[in-house]
């Protein structure tokens, strides 16, 4: 898994590529933790180049969403979620917990 982080005026975009599994999920958690600890809680996670995400990765997203929404500080939204991954979100009952955007521009514009 590789990640890149880009800061916009009202939010931060995290792009990931590759596999998010039990081996790599801690790295993704660390990326999000660093941002939220700096008070950056309006987050876009662009999953366009993510090949695979397991429940270990889903837990990272839930944890981050909880951190962001506590104290009404912000929210984590998802962009470019590939079809099979969206299906997995649906199976896990995660669709109601996130806002999904077709593209990164729309996601950034939502803040």
- Contact set with other proteins (CB under 8 A): 19, 21-23, 52, 54-56, 58-59, 62, 65-66, 69, 83-85, 87-88, 91-93, 96-97
With contact defined as beta carbons under 8 Å apart, do 22 and 54 qualify? Answer: yes
Kindly write down the DSSP assignment for every residue of 29-40, as one continuous string: HHHHHHHHHTT-
Q: Which is nearer to other proteins, 94 or 111 (CB)?
A: 94
Q: Which is nearer to other proteins, 39 or 91 (CB)?
A: 91
C-alpha span between 52 and 34 (Å, rounded): 23
* Shortest Å, Cβ 104 to other proteins: 22
* Shortest Å, Cβ 2 to other proteins: 14
* Shortest Å, Cβ 7 to other proteins: 25
C-alpha span between 68 and 102 (Å, rounded): 21
Q: Which is nearer to other proteins, 57 or 108 (CB)?
A: 57
Cβ neighbors of 69 (< 8 A, separation 6 or more) are 75
């Amino acid at each position: 898994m590789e990640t890149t982080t880009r800061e916009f005026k009202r939010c931060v975009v995290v792009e990931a590529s590759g596999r998010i599994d039990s081996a790599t999920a801690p790295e993704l958690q660390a990326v999000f933790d660093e941002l939220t600890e700096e008070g950056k809680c309006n987050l876009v996670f662009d999953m366009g180049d993510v090949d695979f995400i397991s429940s270990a990765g889903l837990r990272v997203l839930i944890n981050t969403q909880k951190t962001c929404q506590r104290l009404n500080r912000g929210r984590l939204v998802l962009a470019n979620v590939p079809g099979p991954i969206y299906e997995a979100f649906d199976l896990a009952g995660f669709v109601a917990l996130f806002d999904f955007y077709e593209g990164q521009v729309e996601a950034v514009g939502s803040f």
